[in-house]
Amino acid sequence: MAILARAVVLAACLGSLANAQTINVNGHVVVADEGTVSAASEAAGDNFELTDSVLANLTDLHLTDIDIFKFGEDGEAAYKRGLGFASCKTMPGDLHWPGKIVWKVFNLLTGGALIKTVPFGAVCYEGEHYDADECTRIIDNWTNSDTHDEDPTANMYPLFEGNACLPTDAGKDGATCQLGGLPVYSVNATSASQVQLAVNFARTLNLRLVIRNTGHDFLGRSTGAGALNIWTHNLKKLQFVENYQSAGGYKGPAFKIGAGIQVVELYEAANKAGYTAVGGECRTVGVAGGYTAMGGHSPMSPIAGLGSDQVLSVEIVTPDGRLVVADEKNNSELFWAVRGGGGSTFGVVISLTVRVWPKMTFSGVTWSLATADANISKEVFWKGMRTYWAKFPEYNDNHTYGYSVMFNTGNDTYSWSMLPWLVPGMELPAFKAMVNPLLDEWKSIGFNVTPEFFTYDNFYDTWKNHFPTESVGASNVRTASRLIPRKNWDDADLLEETFDAVQSIVEEGSILISYNINGAAPKGVAASALNPAWRDVSMFAIIGSGWDVASSSPDDILATNKKITNDWMQRLRDVSPGSGGYGNEGDVMEPDFGQSFYGADNYKRLYALKKKIDPWGVFYAPTAVGSEDWEITQVTDFVGGLLYSDLLETLSSWLTLQTGRLCRK
């Protein structure tokens, strides 16, 4: 193997990287294959980092075109040859799309980590991937996020892929299994070196690059037609450091977590070590990927701040392909940016070191209310809601995390579930003393709920027992969100307008997922790019709606989509000028997303950094910093043959989908 790491020849053909691939060993030209090319990812040694000396080894024996794997400036010649300056990314079928042999060498260098995309639903369609049992399994378990985990491209909100190859569409008239907005290849990354190879390869060959961790994204930010995908799910290192000392002066317990670590894994490990970690509510959401990059709210947030406030140090592969450490001393601007400034923008996070908190008691309550069953009139329902909402600032002071879901169930009836309302660090008697006055007021107006109180001496059991499994996978919904600031409670008229706005949206059929949460920074946290709207939020509201593809015309579906963004959301914007939405649970069509998801001042600074460290435009995602310089074109031309092409054509006249070609504006 060793000789081969030193002897890879990528022969150029007609100036493009298309055909031959041989290696020159002791003067003999031999075919490049598994037996003759060893993985650069293994050659890279213990820390599995791609370095200049690894590349030098590869170029030792009169190699040509190996520069497609080179870093930043060194790869400039290949970048120009690969038409990096062209206005659009190279797609399959284009003249400059790398030939099979080039993909093969890339695969060999990554140690066989390359996966050609087979859509998750392909097992349900006639053809080589058909598998009736597996098809049944994925259909039966479709709304469970675990089901999508072990597949590199099975994202949970497939609308942005054009709903391509949905398992339940198999057998429908005209349904074929297409890639749609899915990437063409994935790198199943288990080391930084493979990520570096992929970043260099995509940059120099002008390929679209996407990063996909768990695929929980609501905006289509972890997929893209014609792309190479870096799948971070298997970057699973997890290390407890009892006495970590950060560059910024934090001294105490911390975890170093790989980019693929999911909430359940971190919570379990922290609990075992006797601490409380900060993460999201869903079992399988990633911790170190998109979640932390955009902030990340947590049941711990009322005392610990956002997920991004926990970060002490970051290992990240930057757009030039280098693996760097960013903390308060090294690459401090990058460190500022990756804590709130968004994923898929400044590089691929390989690991985060995050602080943890002491083990503590959690007390809380849940209930589930259906006004039709409880004989609660519309008037009483909204009066009861306003009684509750009015107390949000007080509950913020009490460090409340109150997470509830509301629907209009028709004919002036509503369903409202408190999923839990809890307070980290509070004993049950104090918690009941906080909640009981509300329950008494409710009782006096005939708004009766049946509270179920609970308490545990640790977070892990609280979370395991009192957070419902959340349903994913819907192909016909869109959501949007707003961070409603506490100052709205200081002005009685504005407060009424705020409640009126929220109520009107629910009346008209929106879901309301609301959080009574505050995102104040804990003491000693370094400044970050986190959306400042998080710092003084009192109510975080997610709204949205679905549609029925079978019974609605494309025009009606487009109208529903526009209503969410331009009508319902506008009512929330109008009552909270200058605030914003949460980018991870935001609307891909949010107007002025830079101001809304990042804050206007942060956005300018983030944009400047983006231009500086990614002049090539290696990383793109809709609503990511710098994404306004790009657009998706030819949304239906490229993929063709999709079941929903009429709908896609109509929707994509307005909605950003990922089924087309990525081009500079």
Ligand X SMILES: Cc1cc2nc3c(=O)[nH]c(=O)nc-3n(C[C@H](O)[C@H](O)[C@H](O)COP(=O)(O)OP(=O)(O)OC[C@H]3O[C@@H](n4cnc5c(N)ncnc54)[C@H](O)[C@@H]3O)c2cc1C
Interface positions with ligand NAG (CB under 6 A): 2, 5-6, 43, 53-54, 57, 115, 136-137, 140-141, 146-147, 152, 188, 190, 234, 325, 329-330, 375, 394, 397-398, 410-411, 430, 433-434
Q: Which does 190 bind (CB under 5 to 8 A by kind): ligand NAG, ligand X, none?
A: ligand NAG
Q: How far is the CB of 262 from ligand X (least distance, A)?
A: 7
User: Does 204 help bind ligand X (rule: CB under 6 A)?
Assistant: no
Q: Which does 428 bind (CB under 5 to 8 A by kind): ligand X, ligand NAG, none?
A: none
Closest Cα partner for 112 from 18, 211, 40?
40
Considering only residues 314 to 353 of the shown chain, the ones binding ligand X according to CB under 6 A are 343-344, 348-349
**Which of 82, 119, 121, 215 touches ligand X (CB under 6 A)?**
215
**Tally of CB atoms within 10 A around 657:** 24
Binding mask 145-164 for ligand X (x = CB under 6 A): x----------x--------
* H or E element in which residue 485 lies: strand 477-485
Residue in this structure with the two tokens 């339940």, named with its chain if needed: 168
User: Does 541 help bind ligand X (rule: CB under 6 A)?
Assistant: no
Q: Which two tokens stand for residue 467?
A: 């957070």
Phi, psi of 99 (to 5 degrees): -75, 170
Q: Which does 212 bind (CB under 5 to 8 A by kind): ligand NAG, ligand X, none?
A: ligand X
**Which of 106, 142, 201, 291 touches ligand X (CB under 6 A)?**
291
Binding mask 515-534 for ligand X (x = CB under 6 A): --------------------
Q: Which is nearer to ligand X, 155 or 498 (by Cβ)?
A: 155
Region for residue 433 given its phi and psi (left: phi exceeds 0; alpha: psi -120 to 50; beta: otherwise)? alpha
**Which of 79, 218, 336, 362 touches ligand X (CB under 6 A)?**
218
Q: Which does 156 bind (CB under 5 to 8 A by kind): ligand X, ligand NAG, none?
A: ligand X
Q: Which does 115 bind (CB under 5 to 8 A by kind): ligand X, ligand NAG, none?
A: ligand NAG
Q: d(Cα 438, Cα 385) in Å, to the nearest integer?
A: 10
Q: How far is the CB of 313 from ligand NAG (least distance, A)?
A: 8
Q: Which is nearer to ligand NAG, 428 or 477 (by Cβ)?
A: 428
Q: d(Cα 245, Cα 266) in Å, to the nearest integer?
A: 20
List, in sequence order, every residue forming a beta bridge with 662; answer none if it has no partner.
Answer: 632
CB-CB contact of 525 with 305 (8 Å): yes
Q: How far is the CB of 67 from ligand NAG (least distance, A)?
A: 17
Q: Which is nearer to ligand X, 81 or 355 (by Cβ)?
A: 355
Q: d(Cα 484, Cα 257) in Å, to the nearest integer?
A: 32
Q: Which does 43 bind (CB under 5 to 8 A by kind): ligand X, ligand NAG, none?
A: ligand NAG
Considering only residues 267 to 286 of the shown chain, the ones binding ligand X according to CB under 6 A are 280-282, 285-286
Concatenating the DSSP letter of every residue in 170-236 gives TTSTT-----TTS-SEEEE-SSHHHHHHHHHHHHHTTB-EEEESS---SSSTT--TT-EEEE-TT--
Q: How far is the CB of 333 from ligand NAG (least distance, A)?
A: 14
How many residues in the shown chain lie near ligand X by CB under 6 A? 35
Phi, psi of 45 (to 5 degrees): 85, -165
Closest Cα partner for 453 from 442, 440, 466?
466
**Which of 4, 10, 472, 511 touches ligand X (CB under 6 A)?**
472
Q: Which does 137 bind (CB under 5 to 8 A by kind): ligand NAG, ligand X, none?
A: ligand NAG
User: Does 221 help bind ligand X (rule: CB under 6 A)?
Assistant: yes
3-class SS of residue 620: coil
Q: Which does 223 bind (CB under 5 to 8 A by kind): ligand X, ligand NAG, none?
A: none
Cβ burial of 30 (10 Å; 0-12, 13-18, 19+) is middle
Beta-strand relationship, 401-410 and 511-516: antiparallel
Q: Which is nearer to ligand X, 216 or 399 (by Cβ)?
A: 216
Contact segment (CB under 6 A) with ligand X among 17-25, 37-45, 207-215, 563-571 equals 207-215
Between helix 263-273 and helix 459-466 the angle, nearest 10°, is 150
Q: Which does 398 bind (CB under 5 to 8 A by kind): ligand NAG, ligand X, none?
A: ligand NAG
Chain centroid to CA 31: 41
**Which of 180, 290, 384, 626 touches ligand X (CB under 6 A)?**
290
CB-CB contact of 590 with 597 (8 Å): yes
Q: How far is the CB of 138 from ligand NAG (least distance, A)?
A: 8
Q: Which is nearer to ligand X, 382 or 582 (by Cβ)?
A: 582
Q: Which is nearer to ligand X, 201 or 381 (by Cβ)?
A: 201
Q: Which does 528 bind (CB under 5 to 8 A by kind): ligand NAG, ligand X, none?
A: none
Cβ burial of 363 (10 Å; 0-12, 13-18, 19+) is buried
Q: Which does 87 bind (CB under 5 to 8 A by kind): ligand X, ligand NAG, none?
A: none
Q: d(Cα 352, Cα 371) in Å, to the nearest integer?
A: 45
Considering only residues 297 to 316 of the shown chain, the ones binding ligand X according to CB under 6 A are 297
3-class SS of residue 153: coil
Q: d(Cα 129, Cα 122) in Å, to the nearest integer?
A: 6
Considering only residues 234 to 273 of the shown chain, the ones binding ligand X according to CB under 6 A are 259
Q: Buried (b) or exposed (e) across 178-205, using 16+ Cβ within 10 A? A: bbbbbbbbbbbbbbbbbbbbbbbbbbbb
**Tally of CB atoms within 10 A around 264:** 18
User: Does 478 help bind ligand X (rule: CB under 6 A)?
Assistant: no
DSSP single-letter state for residue 483 = E
Half-sphere exposure at residue 287, Cβ-oriented, CA atoms within 13 angstroms = 30
Q: Which does 330 bind (CB under 5 to 8 A by kind): ligand NAG, ligand X, none?
A: ligand NAG
Q: Which does 285 bind (CB under 5 to 8 A by kind): ligand NAG, ligand X, none?
A: ligand X
Q: Which residues are near ligand X by CB under 6 A?
A: 145, 156, 210-218, 221-222, 232, 259, 280-282, 285-286, 289-291, 293, 296-297, 343-344, 348-349, 470, 472, 584-585, 621
